[in-house]
Amino acid sequence: MRKIDLLPEPLTVSRFSEFGDVISTNGDSYPINGGTTQRFHRQATVECNDGEAIISVFQAQPRRLPMKITMMERHPLGSQAFLPCDDQAYLVLVCLGDDVPNPDTLRLFHVQGQGINYHAGTWHFPLLSLETVRNFWVVDRIGNGNNLDEKTFSDDVEIIISEHRDHSE
């Protein structure tokens, strides 16, 4: 059996670009509303195909590490953005793959003070809140067609998210 032990890496725009968008107050901005508000414009693009964009709140239960990963999911018909309602850290697990997730491309990101937007079709693990119940604003697609694929990894690979907490570069 092959073992993949995942350690989180800091989330940056360049590291996450093949999976989606980073949503934050970093980068280009300009003043609006008579100079009383700073606009960080077009942080992500909502992909909906023939559906509609909706906003929901997801309440994520905390996960305990180390944690075994057995599956991934994706939304082939639309993007999915997660915007935390607080500044607590959470983890984002993604990978590449066409019809099935490729465990050799797994990336684990430590996220704090940022939101993320998965591109349509990006394989990801469900919310990984740490230590406490967390609320996230979620922008995603609703409409006709199956917009959820879930795939389980084969039994010949063991994927573990470690307890290691050093998130430095």
**H-run or E-run covering 13:** helix 13-16
pLDDT band at 119 (very low <50, low <70, confident <90, very high): very high
Domain membership of residue 168 (yes or no) is no
Domain membership of residue 71 (yes or no) is yes
Residue 25: pLDDT over 70:
yes
C-beta of residue 9 within 8 angstroms of C-beta of residue 15: yes
pTM: 0.93
The CATH number linked to 24 is: 2.60.120.480
Query: What is the domain range of residue 150?
Result: 2-161
pLDDT tens for each residue of 74-117: 999 999 999 999 999 999 999 999 999 999 999 999 999 999 99
Give the total number of structural domains in the chain.
1
Domain membership of residue 167 (yes or no) is no
